[in-house]
Amino acid sequence: MQKLISPDISPGSSTGTCFEFETVIPDARIDLALTLVDSAQCFHFARRGDAVVGVSMGSPVRLRQTPEGLRMSADAASAARWVRYLDLERDYDAVFEGCEGDPLLSDAARRLPGLRVLNQPPWEALLAFLLSSNNNVSRIRSLVLALSRAYGATLELGGETLYALPEPVALARAGEAALRALGCGYRAAYIARSARMVCEGFPLDELAFLPYEEARAQLLRLPGVGPKVADCVLLFGCGHSSAFPVDVWVERIMTAYYLPGLSRARVAERARALWGPYAGLRQQYLFHLARTGALPGLQTARKGGERA
DNA sequence: AGCCAGGTTTGGC
DNA sequence: GCCAAACATGGC
């Protein structure tokens, strides 16, 4: 069981330009690099030695695991928001409760301790996964950085310059041509148009309070958002923990082990029914195992590829 | 060099 | 409804 988190907030050495505090959270069970850098839930955090740095919710943060606990350098007002962002309040033992008889899930839980599913702001997840379609992780990452440098706020943390993700209005104003020039490819139009719709009142921040089906139907109205991207935004950006994004990897793993013979759309639907509020969280564990090649039974991605 | 990438859209049955 | 092809771009 996880202990209740009681952030012990104390003023730290203020090396930066703004008010910077260090918060220590004892017993925070999170693998920072795995969750923020290697898990492909977001693409805007980076390793700095044994620390991880990034920007979200308008604030920069530096995170590091130490024997005393998770050390977080951020402005004092944002510490609680980061706890939520990192999903530290959730008991991940409960996510895998009852999986003792399931070799795959219990193996996933054992092999990936400290993997958490983020609670990003909806726009952050939307932008990231608009860029993700038919794209690879390293290029998504470089595109997110390019967009942030060009259209995001410049921030400073511990002497390092960091860039916030661009706001919708900045990308709507930038327009398709400029986004294409940055390397977004055919996604430039999707991003410019979706950003404009968000500026013009698309209820992005209300999706968290709508039932899953309604929130998903809303997202599917946005250009460049299909079933997979919608589920990523719902899971990583709207707190819909039952949302079950199905990419090629998750499709393989699910049809091989749980739902043989089903189409991609049916897999998403049936997995939610199967695992309920834990579906999306479990999906993230299985996705990571599959993507990192930890499941030798699954074929590598190949067009027209055959199944075992 | 060619295949692939956390897909979506469009147009054909 | 389900299927195939087109879509930009760079990493490997």
Q: Give the per-residue pLDDT at A149.
A: 98
Q: Give the per-residue pLDDT at A307.
A: 33
Residues of A (6-35) placing their beta carbon closer than 7 angstroms to any atom of strand B are none
Residue A21 is encoded by which pair of tokens? 């505090």
Model confidence pLDDT, tens digit, residues A65-109: 999 999 999 998 999 999 999 999 999 999 999 999 999 999 999
Consecutive H or E run containing A140: helix A137-151
Distance A12 CA to C9 C1' (A): 44
pLDDT (tens digit, 0 to 9) for every residue of chain A, 308 residues total? 322 233 343 443 333 445 679 999 999 999 999 999 999 999 999 999 999 999 999 999 999 999 999 999 999 899 999 999 999 999 999 999 999 999 999 999 999 999 999 999 999 999 999 999 999 999 999 999 999 999 999 999 999 999 999 999 999 999 999 999 999 999 999 999 999 999 999 999 999 999 999 999 999 999 999 999 999 999 999 999 999 999 988 998 999 999 998 999 999 999 999 999 999 999 999 999 999 988 777 755 444 333 33
Taking alpha carbons only, the member of A49, A39, A123 closest to residue A86 is A39
Distance CA A205, CA A50 (A): 34
Q: Is the distance between the Cβ of A227 and the closest atom of strand C smaller than 7 Å?
A: no
The residue ranges of DSSP E strands in chain A, in sequence order, are 8-10, 21-25, 45-48, 51-56, 59-66, 69-74, 154-157, 160-163
Q: Is the distance between the Cβ of A37 and the closest atom of strand B smaller than 7 Å?
A: no
User: DSSP of A189-241, one letter per residue?
Assistant: HHHHHHHHHHHTT--GGGGGGS-HHHHHHHHTTSTT--HHHHHHHHHHHS--T
Q: Give the per-residue pLDDT at A299.
A: 58
By residue count, chain A amounts to 308
Distance A49 CA to B6 C1' (A): 26
Distance A134 CA to C7 C1' (A): 10
Q: Is the distance between the Cβ of A247 and the closest atom of strand B smaller than 7 Å?
A: yes
Model confidence pLDDT, tens digit, residues A10-49: 443 333 445 679 999 999 999 999 999 999 999 999 999 9
Q: Give the per-residue pLDDT at A295.
A: 78
A61 CB contacts (<8 Å, ≥6 apart)? A53, A54, A55, A72, A73, A74, A78, A82, A157
Q: Is the distance between the Cβ of A219 and the closest atom of strand B smaller than 7 Å?
A: no
Q: Give the per-residue pLDDT at A4.
A: 28
Residues of A (171-200) placing their beta carbon closer than 7 angstroms to any atom of strand C are 180, 183-186
Q: Is the distance between the Cβ of A132 and the closest atom of strand B smaller than 7 Å?
A: yes
Q: Give the per-residue pLDDT at A18.
A: 54
Amino acid letter for position A214: E
Residues of A (146-185) placing their beta carbon closer than 7 angstroms to any atom of strand B are none
Q: Identify the DSSP state of A254.
A: H
Distance A133 CA to B7 C1' (A): 4
Q: Give the per-residue pLDDT at A10.
A: 40
